[in-house]
Amino acid sequence: MIKAYAAKASDADLAPFELERRALKPTDVKIDILFCGVCHSDLHQVRNDWKNSKYPVVPGHEIVGKVTAIGDDVKNFKAGDLVGVGCLVDSCQECGACKDDLEQFCEKGATWTYNSPDKHLGGHTFGGYSESVVVDEEFVLRVPENIAPEAAAPLLCAGVTTWSPLSHWKIKKGDKVGIIGLGGLGHMGIKFAHAMEAEVVMITTSPDKSKDAKRLGADAVLISKDEDQMKKHQGSFDFLLNTIPVGHDLNPYAALLKRDATMVLVGAVEPLEALHGGSIIMGRKRIAGSLIGGIKETQEMLDFCGEHNVVSDIELINIQDINKAYDRLQKSDVKYRFVIDMQSLKSS
């Protein structure tokens, strides 16, 4: 049994918990967890906002740690390696999506790092708010040694969630890219688009975020509540990355797109306000969605981060402060991701 933190009901605080990890199978890697990012999805699952939570919930899918043991058939990792585990720990590996390295869209259902059926032990999977984890090597990622491991943790979800659409839609030098919303996702979108040498515009409702947006790499800031500013930028964007996490009106943003340009949604997993057909028909514009990234793509993102020294802006906390962090997360009171120092779990 190992130490962890879990919520036992939707109205319960996270508290100390013990769980069992499976014995090493031939292709398994055992990882001592050093840091685990806190994603808004963790809060949604703990509170059962999506009505699919299984209790007890041990959240955490932004895991960075050191390999401590490997199965007999493991080829790509050894003890001491700095590695990561993101949102995925298994998939069928046989369907069209998996063969295309898009395991997150596995046609038989991906196994998520927590709150998915556990085919090895029964019950459901437990995440990274714990001392260690055992994962098949196909779902273990190599973390560049030249970046801070604690700041690398959120790359495993927030990072790849924003990297994937920027990469898939082939953002390049000189493209005018708008990042809508400055939070855990938005701040990574700015950093990636800037590193790709795009012209980056932070689009926000809050003028007081302008200074920080430019510090992160934005070339300009567009206040979406300012009608004159919005009209000035109308029809000028090659790409929009929409990170707003709640339902909202897409029409004003669609008006910013050039002909044949795309806005990708990565934040709002819920109903949106009505979209006027004319806002996309007039200009052959596209509204698309994107979900994290496959393992190959996530590794490409990590390698890019190592090459360009891109990491998340974080606030490091102890596990004992996780409930306070959730309260602050609910109020968007963090710049821009909480990360748990999992060594603090030893004193629980």
pLDDT tens digits, the chain, 348 residues: what are they? Answer: 999 999 999 999 999 999 999 999 999 999 999 999 999 999 999 999 989 999 999 999 999 999 999 999 999 999 999 999 999 999 999 999 999 999 999 999 999 999 999 999 999 999 999 999 999 999 999 999 999 999 999 999 999 999 999 999 999 999 999 999 999 999 999 999 999 999 999 999 999 999 999 999 999 999 999 999 999 999 999 999 999 999 999 999 999 999 999 999 999 888 999 999 999 999 999 999 999 999 999 999 999 999 999 999 999 999 999 999 999 999 989 999 999 999 999 887
Looking at the structure, tell me whether residues 38 and 151 fall in a common domain.
yes
**Number of domains forming the structure of the chain:** 2
For CA atoms 32, 38, 39, 40, give the dihedral sign: positive
Instruction: Please give the Cα distance from 89 to 127 (Å, whole number).
Output: 10
Is 306 inside any structural domain? Answer: no
pLDDT value, residue 266: 97
Is the separation of the CB atoms in 90 and 186 below 8 Å? no
pTM reported for the whole predicted model: 0.96
Q: What CATH number did the domain enclosing 84 receive? A: 3.90.180.10
Looking at the structure, tell me whether residues 29 and 108 fall in a common domain.
yes
pLDDT value, residue 348: 77
Instruction: Please give the Cα distance from 97 to 322 (Å, whole number).
Output: 35
Looking at the structure, tell me whether residues 92 and 229 fall in a common domain.
no
For CA atoms 347, 66, 153, 127, give the dihedral sign: negative
Is 294 inside any structural domain? Answer: no
Reported as a single tens digit per residue, the pLDDT across 256-300 is: 999 999 999 999 888 999 999 999 999 999 999 999 999 999 999
Domain, as residue range, for 261:
159-289
Looking at the structure, tell me whether residues 134 and 247 fall in a common domain.
no
